[in-house]
Amino acid sequence: MRRSSAIGSSVPRMDRSNRNTALASAMVEELARSGVRHAVLSPGSRSTPLAVALHRQPEIDLTVIVDERPAGFFALGAAQASGAPVAVLCTSGTAAANLHPAVAEADESAVPLIVLTADRPPELRGIGAGQTIDQIKLYGEAVRWFCEVGNHEADDEGLLHYRYAACRAFAASCREERPGPVHLNVPWREPLAPVPSDGAVTAEDPLALEGRDKRPLTAVAAAPPAPDEFTLSELARHISGAHRGVIIAGRQTDPGLREPLAALAAAALFPILAEPTSQLRMGPHDRSHVVVGYDSLLRSGIFDEEPPDLVLRFGEMPTSKPLRTWLTGSGADQLVVDPTGGWNEPTRRAAAILRFDPASLAAGLAERVERGSSEWASRWTEADWKAHSALEEAIAGLGDVTEPGLQAALAPLYADGGLVYTNSSMPIRDQEVFLPSSEADALFLANRGANGIDGLISSAAGAAHATGRPTVAVTGELGLLHDLGGLAAAADAGAPVRIVVIDNGGGGIFHFLPQRDAMDDAEFDELLATPRGIEAGKAAELFGIPHRRVAHLGELGKALGNETALIEVRTDRHGGPALRESLHDAVRRAVTQ
């Protein structure tokens, strides 16, 4: 990976060397004026006009990553962590197809991504020309907007069209109802290099040649609306009438929701069942109503006879299956706060989906609701304290390095200003169940839209690079295998990326599925568990990354250190279900005595 050194340099805004340089630099100029600050490039010949324009644009930091698949996830992580659109550029052919996994995740997670694919011109398509595939609407319905930008002269209409396409792409990625990826397919004819061509730029309109100085050609201002007085009053009345209300805090990336939601919980006396990626479980806010151990508590059955009568959900639905089962069977009205136009409602029982700014809604409700049942709220917080104590004691008694124990050991090591990027499969589930609460002001991220295990290391590297914040990435060894190319990005991210690799000799999550009991050991390992005997240290060595193996969890803090490193933690996947069940049993005994 290589980063551009053009930041802060003085360069002409629009390159008039030839038709292509003018069109490409006009497009990139509008991306920068709209607010794009980071771009990722996987090199190739056909993408040269845009690559040169991005490299020479002083307001855009360009990162060069050879492999398109890690490049896409690097851009995704950068966009998710920064909250701003990130551009990713590749050449024609299968290069564009390799961006598809990141596009799919950006679609499902509502992450703003501007995908720029160079293409052959129409006359070279379908005749056997090299490096040519059908790129028209390549990503299908996964993108918010697709544009075949087309071949144009550098006249008034052509330059205005390229400027317009950039502005609309930016707006479609983040300014309209639901953020997400957009796709601009840009076909180029020769010359691809920035060689001079007299008379190639014929535009005369100052707007086409220069745009609007420091402003984009067309700006779109949009934000989730603040709730009106009538809505706040009606919702407050509904909340005040509930006897057993709960707040579910699922994945969302705005730490600004912490204080208003904590205030709402204190006013209504509702427990907040908060997963880590809600940003509510950890942080400097009031956490007196935050419940961490809801998964184990609901497994214990102590709330089976007391289902909620009102559910307020902010963010996505948490992963916990006991929580989903409890909510589905409760019959309670569920009010889902989703400002981004999604339909993340797997129970199919929501009474309303509220398209308002979450922080404004929570703050407004906190001022209007009447206090609820202190007994109900106390039951949850007291049970959570017992669950925490039981888990802490049970995990300490295990002795060996375990995956639940790893999550507990990582908690006090997360620091203010840090990022935590956790892979899907078992790591994110264990984080939800076993990560205790603390006041560390860290941002928790995950690629939980499509729930793939690919691209985690690249995403974490992109997040670290875009924010400059030290990052901890937690993945299994199969996740490492899926994203070995991401190690190159991590090695040069510009901020420390500590990659914690849990090596349990295969896919541990499959041991929790019915397939484990329905198949013999050999068949199960061959088809699902897929042990590969990965030597993580050799992978780290290939990319010049320090490798450390942790034999005892007490060594974890020193192993993480303050520099990019790969930290290997070896565990046993075979005993995973029984081990976790023993921990749930410890909670069950503690809360039912």
Q: In what order do the strands lie in the sheet with 419-422?
A: 443-446, 419-422, 471-476, 497-503, 565-570, 547-550
Question: Percentage of residues in the chain with pLDDT exceeding 70?
Answer: 98
Q: Is the pLDDT of residue 128 over 50?
A: yes
Identify the band that residue 1 occupies on the pLDDT scale cut at 50, 70 and 90.
low
What average pLDDT does the segment 312-318 reach? Answer: 95
What average pLDDT does the segment 319-347 reach? Answer: 90
pLDDT tens digits, residue range 13-26? 789 999 999 999 99
What average pLDDT does the segment 187-208 reach? Answer: 95
Q: Is the pLDDT of residue 489 over 60?
A: yes
* Within-domain flag for 593: no
Q: Is the pLDDT of residue 8 over 50?
A: no
pLDDT of 12: 55
pLDDT tens digits, residue range 100-110? 999 999 999 99
Q: Quick one: 262 and 190 in the same domain?
A: no
Residues whose CB falls within 8 Å of the CB of residue 571, separated by 6 or more in sequence, listed in order = 401, 402, 403, 406, 502, 503, 504, 508
Segments forming the whole domain that contains residue 241: 229-383
pLDDT tens digits, residue range 138-178? 999 999 999 999 999 999 999 999 999 999 999 999 988 89
Q: How many CA atoms lie within 13 A of 333 on its CB side?
A: 13
Tokens of 478: 């199969």
pLDDT of 93: 95
Q: Is the pLDDT of residue 6 over 80?
A: no
Query: Residue 180, class by beta-carbon neighbours within 10 Å (0-12 exposed, 13-18 middle, 19+ buried)?
Result: buried
Q: Is the pLDDT of residue 10 over 70?
A: no
Q: Is the pLDDT of residue 7 over 50?
A: no
In total, how many domains does the chain have?
3
pLDDT of 176: 82
pLDDT of 331: 87
Identify the band that residue 510 occupies on the pLDDT scale cut at 50, 70 and 90.
confident
* Within-domain flag for 510: yes
Identify the band that residue 4 occupies on the pLDDT scale cut at 50, 70 and 90.
low
First to last CA, the chain: 57
Q: Is the pLDDT of residue 345 over 80?
A: yes
Question: Percentage of residues in the chain with pLDDT exceeding 90?
Answer: 81
Lowest mean pLDDT among 86-90, 156-160, 572-576: 572-576
CATH label of the domain that carries residue 32: 3.40.50.970
* Within-domain flag for 413: yes
pLDDT tens digits, residue range 63-78? 999 999 999 999 999 9
Q: Are 303 and 329 in contact (CB under 8 A)?
A: no
Strand pairing report for 2-3 and 61-64: antiparallel
Strand, helix or coil for residue 78: helix
Q: Is the pLDDT of residue 27 over 70?
A: yes
Q: Quick one: 162 and 97 in the same domain?
A: yes
pLDDT of 224: 76
Q: Quick one: 136 and 189 in the same domain?
A: yes
* Within-domain flag for 297: yes
DSSP class of residue 277 equals G
What average pLDDT does the segment 471-491 reach? Answer: 95
Q: Quick one: 372 and 410 in the same domain?
A: no
pTM of the entire predicted model: 0.94
Q: Quick one: 437 and 543 in the same domain?
A: yes
Distance, in Å, from the CA atom of 129 to the CA atom of 315, rounded to the nearest integer, reads 47
Strand, helix or coil for residue 577: helix
Domain's final residue, options 351, 383, 415: 383
pLDDT of 529: 75
* Within-domain flag for 288: yes
Nearest to 294 by CA among 312, 277, 269, 318: 318
Identify the band that residue 507 occupies on the pLDDT scale cut at 50, 70 and 90.
confident
pLDDT of 400: 81
Identify the band that residue 398 occupies on the pLDDT scale cut at 50, 70 and 90.
confident
Query: Residue 416, class by beta-carbon neighbours within 10 Å (0-12 exposed, 13-18 middle, 19+ buried)?
Result: exposed
pLDDT of 120: 94
What average pLDDT does the segment 459-488 reach? Answer: 96
Residues whose CB falls within 8 Å of the CB of residue 247, separated by 6 or more in sequence, listed in order = 261, 264, 265, 270, 271, 272, 273, 311, 312, 313, 314
**Ranges of H-type helices in 468-575:** 477-482, 486-491, 515-518, 521-524, 536-542, 556-560
Q: Quick one: 297 and 371 in the same domain?
A: yes
Mean pLDDT, all residues of the chain: 93
Q: Is the pLDDT of residue 307 over 50?
A: yes
* Within-domain flag for 377: yes
Q: Quick one: 95 and 235 in the same domain?
A: no
Identify the band that residue 525 occupies on the pLDDT scale cut at 50, 70 and 90.
confident
Q: Quick one: 184 and 58 in the same domain?
A: yes
Q: Quick one: 174 and 238 in the same domain?
A: no
